[in-house]
């Protein structure tokens, strides 16, 4: 594929023949569409049938710069590539505690960036916070999870699953010299465990409460 194919057959609709700013997301703060124009460099195709543009935009929210490479196809669609890419994960549900949400957010972003040590540490910390919110008892994560299982807060499968997730039993908060890095599979496993824990402890009760509230 050539860069001259940008916007040909796929892309975003432009209503004024220019870059649709509402399709650009700041890769730093997540703000959508609020940019000021910094500079533009354009290149015309040899047969003069098309132009490609390299724009530098400044975010009106955080002040950081975003580079956008774009071109409009014959159908009027605009193909866009930007640097930095916007983050896939930017917020957490309002019914989660904010500190749990912050740790989960950092864990997810670390996975997206392939920072597996950080992902495992943040996910494990979020699991610990959830257990403390539930007043779990025990001197290790395994024992606290087992305690919530005995109280009926967690189903038996979640208790059993915890023993299969290696990072739940490893504390990266106190690393040892020469220790090997966290494997991608192990980081993904503890993040997945965290996601299911959040669903059981917070999401399902919230959904049930909403459903009951809609009943007449």
- What is the chain's alpha carbon radius of gyration, rounded to the nearest angstrom? 23
Q: Which residues pair with 65 in a beta bridge?
A: 58
Average pLDDT over residues 75-90: 84
Cα angle for residues 29, 80, 87 (degrees, 5° grid): 25
pLDDT score of 170 more than 70: no
Mean pLDDT of the chain: 89
Q: What is the pLDDT of residue 12?
A: 92
Q: What is the pLDDT of residue 85?
A: 80
Counting every residue written for the chain, the total comes to: 216
Q: Rounded to an integer, what distance in angstroms lies between the CA atom of residue 29 and that of residue 26?
A: 6
Q: Rounded to an integer, what distance in angstroms lies between the CA atom of residue 192 and that of residue 10?
A: 33
pLDDT band of residue 175 (cuts 50, 70, 90) is: low
pLDDT score of 40 more than 70: yes
Average pLDDT over residues 165-191: 77
pLDDT band of residue 126 (cuts 50, 70, 90) is: very high
pLDDT score of 211 more than 60: yes
Specify the higher pLDDT residue, 114 or 129.
Answer: 129
Average pLDDT over residues 152-158: 95
Q: Which two tokens stand for residue 26?
A: 């700041």
The residue whose two tokens read 């917020």 is 91
pLDDT tens for 2-28 read 889 999 988 999 989 999 999 998 888
Under 8 Å between Cβ of 45 and 51: yes
The residue whose two tokens read 């503890």 is 190
Prediction pTM value: 0.61
Q: Rounded to an integer, what distance in angstroms lies between the CA atom of residue 87 and that of residue 62?
A: 15
């Amino acid at each position: 594929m050539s860069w001259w194919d940008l916007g040909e057959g796929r892309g975003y609709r432009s209503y004024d023949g220019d870059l649709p700013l509402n399709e650009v997301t700041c890769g730093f703060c997540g703000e959508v569409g609020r940019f000021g124009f910094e500079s533009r460099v354009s290149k015309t195709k040899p047969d003069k049938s098309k132009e490609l543009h390299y724009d530098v935009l400044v975010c009106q929210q955080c002040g950081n710069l975003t580079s956008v490479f774009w071109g409009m196809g014959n159908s009027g669609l605009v193909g866009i590539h930007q640097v930095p890419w916007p983050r896939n994960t930017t917020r957490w549900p309002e019914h989660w505690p904010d500190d749990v949400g912050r740790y989960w957010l950092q864990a997810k972003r670390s996975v997206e960036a392939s920072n597996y040590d950080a992902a495992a540490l943040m996910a494990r910390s979020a699991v610990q916070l959830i257990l403390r919110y539930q007043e779990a008892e025990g001197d290790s994560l395994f024992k606290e999870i087992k305690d919530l299982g005995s109280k009926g807060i967690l189903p038996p499968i979640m208790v059993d699953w915890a023993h299969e997730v290696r990072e739940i039993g490893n504390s990266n908060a106190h690393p040892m010299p020469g220790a090997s890095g966290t494997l991608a599979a192990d980081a993904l496993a503890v993040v997945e465990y965290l996601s299911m824990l959040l669903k059981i402890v917070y999401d399902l009760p919230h959904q049930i409460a909403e459903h009951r509230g809609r009943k007449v």
